[in-house]
Chains A and B, each alone.
Chain A
Amino acid sequence: MQRIVVERSGGVPVTKRAHVGAVASGNLEVLCEPPAEARATIVVSTSVDGFEPVWRATLERFLERYPIAAAIEINDFGATPAMVSLRLEQALELAR
């Protein structure tokens, strides 16, 4: 099990809470909340070790594309990067 944190300052804060997905095979759970300060913080817990560069690339691309401020928690059970992006966008749609 591995923990990865990605942070970026600034951005437009999300206004609502959103919860999508499940900790199920090839899937992930995303909890998205308005942040305490104007920054995006994404904390990942993943059951699959050794994919930190892929996680960082996926999450940084998401924050590049959507410059938001939010506290995001990800609980992952072996989701692919495509699935991760999809869930993050789904959460964002509900949280903005």
Chain B
Amino acid sequence: MTPTALRRSYVESTPRERIAALADPGSFREILDPFARCSSPYLAEQGVVAQRDDGVVVGRALLGGRDVAAVAVDGRFLGGSIGEIGGAKIARVLERARDGAFLLLDTGGIRLQEANLGLLAIAEICDAIVALRERAPVVAVVAGRVGCYGGMSVAAALCSQIIMSPVGRFGLNGPEVVEQEAGIEELDARDRPAIWQATGGVRRVEQGHADVLVEDDLDELARALRDAFRASPNRERLSLERLRNRFAQEAPR
């Protein structure tokens, strides 16, 4: 029996390590790296220390030889929240993408410290995804500890395909928001099994809200990502019509 190779965990990797491991070796070229010092100008005045890449890594990479845009949100910095700068980085790189894009989403959505600017940025990101997916695959990966919530869950839902791992979670409202808005009888935000049963990767793929389930393993994810690009946009796209049909089917009479 051959010895089992150690898995390389996606969860344990940094955003740059994730892109490097998923793209063709050595092909990633980062745009506006930390030394460009494009950080949020709004955080210091609110007493929050800024990260120099604003928690977003973007650039160009090859994926199976295709020239694609690569995006990774850093879930470690302010919950992977999207502010004006990070959001603009994502939107611009998607607008300029040639043969598609992959987005490694580990994000709670809009950065509350930047409120409307974050909202605007996410609207731009959604716009760029919809424009790009008409001509090339846009694939989202939701496999980090934060998951993908809020406005960025809308962005993910607009992608051609979504790849998840059992670690990933995906939903419009995060557990704390659901608890606050609907009450603890609806959801106890400390109840981790309940959260993953409702929004975890296994469940989301079962429900068809995400397309592919892979283990927390960079090599497996790299294969799934290439498969997703070969398959091209086969996912039924999020449209108003589709949502109306679905609501008509699922709503209790």
Contacts and interface: CB of A to CB of B under 8 A. Distances in A.
Interface of A: 1, 17, 19, 22-24, 27, 29, 31, 33, 45-47, 73, 75-77
Given A29-B52, A47-B47, A77-B49, A22 B35 contact: no
Contacts, number: 44
Interface string B40-51: 000010011111
Interface in B61-80: 74, 76-78
A22 B57 CA distance: 12
Is chain A's interface secondary structure helix, strand, loop, or mixed overall? strand
Interface of B: 14, 33-35, 44, 47-52, 74, 76-78
Identify which of A19, A29, A45, A46 gathers the most chain B CB atoms within 10 Å of its CB: A29
B76 A19 contact: no
B11 to A, nearest CB: 14
Contact of B49 (A31, A33, A75): A75
B14 A22 contact: yes
A70 B191 CA distance: 47
Given A19-B33, A31-B34, A76 B76 contact: no
B47 A31 contact: no
Contact of A75 (B35, B51, B76): B51
A24 B50 CA distance: 10
Given A29-B51, A31-B52, A75-B51, A24 B35 contact: no
Contacts of A45: 44, 49-50
Contact of A1 (B33, B44, B78): B44
A19 B48 contact: no
